[in-house]
Amino acid sequence: MSEANPTIARFRGGVGCRRESDTPLGLTLVGRSADRPDEVICVAFSGSAPEDLPEVLEDARVERDSDNSYRIVADSRHWVIAAPAVHVHRDVATVFYRAVAPRSPPLMRKILLNLVLTLAHSPTGKRLLLALRRR
């Protein structure tokens, strides 16, 4: 990584390249982060994709080339995409839910839910639940 071309995102493994001509975001790269393998990164460009860009890249990285262009580097090849903006989304759900312990539902709610599911399992119970619902 050089100061002239700061790295926007680095991928590890396969990176899917989605081309979308009917939306403002013409190209989206989706793959796992090289820095944090639990994170999925989406990099969306507000410009059209280069014609020779393959459907899947390996170990790609995205660098800022200039104010309105970005360089996608994978293997020994690179592609320049002219785009006024790039949007980076990091899916941190896995890390978030590992840090935040799930809350256990209250005991009465568990009992009520089990009772309703048990009633809904039988025809008589279904009729009883429907009668209670109509009240």
Q: Where are the domains of the chain?
A: 7-97, 104-134
Q: Which of 39, 21, 23 is nearest to 31 (CA)?
A: 39
CA distance 69 to 80: 7
Q: What is the pLDDT of residue 4?
A: 66
Q: Is pLDDT above 50 for 80?
A: yes
pTM (predicted TM-score): 0.67
Give the model confidence (pLDDT) of 14-53 as tens digits.
999 988 877 778 889 999 999 888 889 999 998 888 888 8
The predicted model gives 103-119 an average pLDDT of 92
What's the CA angle centered on 79, arms 23 and 53, to 5 degrees? 60
Q: Is pLDDT above 80 for 120?
A: yes
Name the band, by pLDDT with cuts 50, 70 and 90, for residue 2.
Answer: very low
Q: What is the pLDDT of residue 48?
A: 81
Q: What is the pLDDT of residue 60?
A: 93
